[in-house]
Chains A and B, each alone.
Chain A
Amino acid sequence: METTLREVIKQITFKHLKKFKGQVFGQNLTGVGWVAGTLPKLYEKDGVIELPMADVANGGMVTGAALVGRRPFYIIRYQGYNWLNCIFIVNYACKSKEIWNKPAPMFIRGLSSEGGLGPVSTSSHISIFYKMPGIKIYSPMTKNEYTSTYKKFMKSDDVFYVSEHRKSYENKIEFKNSLKKNLDIILMPISVTRFEAEKAKNYLNKNGYKVGIIHLYELKPFVLKKKWISMIKSSKYGVLMTDNDYVDGIIRTLAHKINEQTNKKVNVLGLKDKSAGYTLKTSNFPPSALEIINKIKKIKAKKRL
């Protein structure tokens, strides 16, 4: 049977603990589903460390572990808790190499989910990390992407923020970019919106549109490849980016970078600029395939006027 992303994360974690004598820190790790089944059933003697319910302090304690070279994994079970956990990570761990010549490499696993969890825990919150120097940010949704991210971490002495999504844990497929000259529009989705963007692309292409896709998971540093620039430049309507962080977050920054390098319009769809409630009606969901389709139709219609 083909393995899922969940299994791959579990295997990587096991190897990190056993082969490299690493450590995994977090809250409520050893039980309640073992972090959605991504954590091997190991305990403190193996390097799986239960931290107290003190998120601000915990970010600092893991920074301390990183400073002494244990290359810790730090699991933040809901990205909403980034707000508390990020303080010492971004202000110390990320700057330590540059200021004090003391790297603090750590692998932060931030789990996001898709709506229905109220104003804080819903969706991604990576934008608060994004603006700070000294951090690398990835959002792998597939097995190969995750493995490649971990390998990069093991060769690096930087802080890695790995933005995961619970919906991706069952994923078995790899995504492929679909690019050619003179497309109508190119989708550049991030995180869980990649699944919906694929559906939208397939639908639109069957209905007379020419839609390409560039799957983004290496978010910082963000490199726009030469081939991408040339394809975007040749497209009719430019780019539509999608994300499950707020629309005024990281996605606008990336859109601006793309616009600077291609001189093409870059539209964005993310979480709406509103507070999320706990019900289906009041939550704030990332853009669906239908919303992506409708947005592209609107872009096309507007351009014709």
Chain B
Amino acid sequence: MSYKNYRLKIFEKASLCRNFENEVFKRVNEKLINFPVYLSAGQEYVPSSIAQIVKDKKQKPLIFGQHRGHSIYLSFGGNIIELIDELLGKKTGCTRGMGGSLSINSNKINMFGHEGLMGSNACMGVGACFSSAKPTIVFLGDASVEEDYVLASLSWAAKKELPILFVVEDNNYAVLTKKKDRRDWKAKDVAKAFKLESYDIDDQPKKIFSVLKKNLFKKPIFINVNTKRLFWHSGAGVDEEVKGDRLTIEKKFLGKKADKIHRNIKKKIENLWKQRLEK
């Protein structure tokens, strides 16, 4: 597969996530969804790139996400209709209508729901990985990595040399508080101190691939990926226009083919939402 085609595959996943989130944004504003939603638009290149690498390696890891989980779910092959139904509070949803936006769960893709305590998934992911010896991915945010129990989990994963990947989707904010106002250390340095193979990169798929290609699930790895969230921490709103949106950059690079993919996916998702709303 050519490099461009590889990027197109990742783009396809990211486009699915973006279009999905845009549609949720609309539905929230229409008040068709009346509970807190956590949109991941702008950050979708992180799970999309990782999901493609995992797929190419023919692995089916245990996935422990947090509250901002729509893109993780979709990137790893979660059923779109079930996610729509979940957001509409239907029993046919991926979490039987109990999870809302925050607790996305799927037995089909080994994704474990989140209860809302930031970073708890690091502890559970480490325990599940240790006890099952199965490859595992834990998605965190730059805020949750500050939780003491997350640090303890990183330490134990390193000690036990688990086949686990920790991913920090770092958008620099804990709600609206910047990292520089919260700490003077880098997550990568702390992970390194625990003897984890650790990286601090941006969300270019090439960079994500380059740090994961060799040792993914062979040893514990920690990646802090700098990314940009487009919408509010919770709900459907925009504070200011974000510069350097990865999807826009990639779409421009990939040209007409990407444009077409994006348009088709948009139409498909709009239709699916319409159908589920009519049902």
Contact = CB atoms under 8 A, between A and B. Distances in A.
Contact of B156 (A52, A59, A66): A52
Contact of B149 (A23, A56, A101): A56
A65 B132 CA distance: 7
A22 to B, nearest CB: 10
Interface residues of A, number: 31
B175 to A, nearest CB: 21
B124 A67 contact: yes
A64 to B, nearest CB: 2
Contact of A57 (B131, B132, B153, B159): B153
A64 B112 CA distance: 10
Nearest to A70: B131
Q: B interface, how many residues as a size bin? A: 20 to 34
Contacts of A185: none
B107 A102 contact: yes
Interface in A35-72: 49, 51-52, 54, 56-68, 70, 72
A95 B115 contact: yes
A284 B237 CA distance: 54
A99 B103 contact: yes
Interface string B109-140: 00011010100101111111111101000000
Nearest to A98: B98
A72 B130 CA distance: 12
A297 B125 CA distance: 56
Nearest to A104: B124
B141 to A, nearest CB: 17
B152 A52 contact: yes
A263 interface: no
Nearest to B157: A61
A99 B95 contact: yes
B116 to A, nearest CB: 8
Interface stretch (A2-10, A85-93, A194-202, A273-281): A85-93
Given A87-B117, A88-B117, A99-B113, A23 B156 contact: no
A64 B127 contact: yes
B184 interface: no
A61 B113 contact: no
Contacts of A52: 152, 155-156, 159
A59 B117 CA distance: 13
A96 B105 CA distance: 11
A68 B103 contact: no
Given A63-B127, A64-B127, A102-B112, A57 B149 contact: yes
A60 B112 contact: no
B131 A72 contact: yes
A94 to B, nearest CB: 10
Contacts of B56: none
B96 interface: yes
Contacts of A68: 62, 128, 131-132, 134
Contact of B99 (A60, A92, A100): A100
A69 to B, nearest CB: 8
B148 interface: yes
B117 A57 contact: no
A52 B128 CA distance: 16
B127 A60 contact: yes
Contact of B105 (A58, A59, A102): A102
Contacts of B117: 87-88, 91-92
A64 B123 contact: yes
A101 B97 CA distance: 12
B33 to A, nearest CB: 19
B123 A88 contact: yes
Contacts of A100: 95, 98-99, 103, 105, 112-113
Contacts of B112: 67, 100, 102
Given A52-B155, A56-B148, A88 B120 contact: yes
A16 to B, nearest CB: 14
A100 B115 CA distance: 10
A56 B129 CA distance: 18
Contacts of A70: 131-132
A54 B149 contact: yes
Contacts of B150: 57
Given A99-B115, A101-B96, 17 more contacts: A52-B155, A52-B159, A57-B152, A58-B123, A59-B123, A60-B120, A64-B124, A65-B128, A68-B62, A68-B131, A70-B131, A99-B98, A99-B113, A100-B103, A100-B113, A102-B107, A102-B112
Interface of B: 62, 95-96, 98-99, 103, 105, 107, 112-113, 115, 117, 120, 122-132, 134, 148-150, 152-153, 155-156, 159
Which 8 residue pairs of A and B lie closest in terms of their CB atoms, listed nearest first? A64-B127, A60-B123, A54-B152, A61-B127, A57-B152, A64-B128, A65-B131, A57-B149
15 contacts: A52-B155, A57-B122, A57-B149, A57-B152, A58-B123, A58-B152, A59-B123, A66-B127, A68-B128, A68-B132, A70-B131, A70-B132, A95-B115, A99-B115, A100-B99
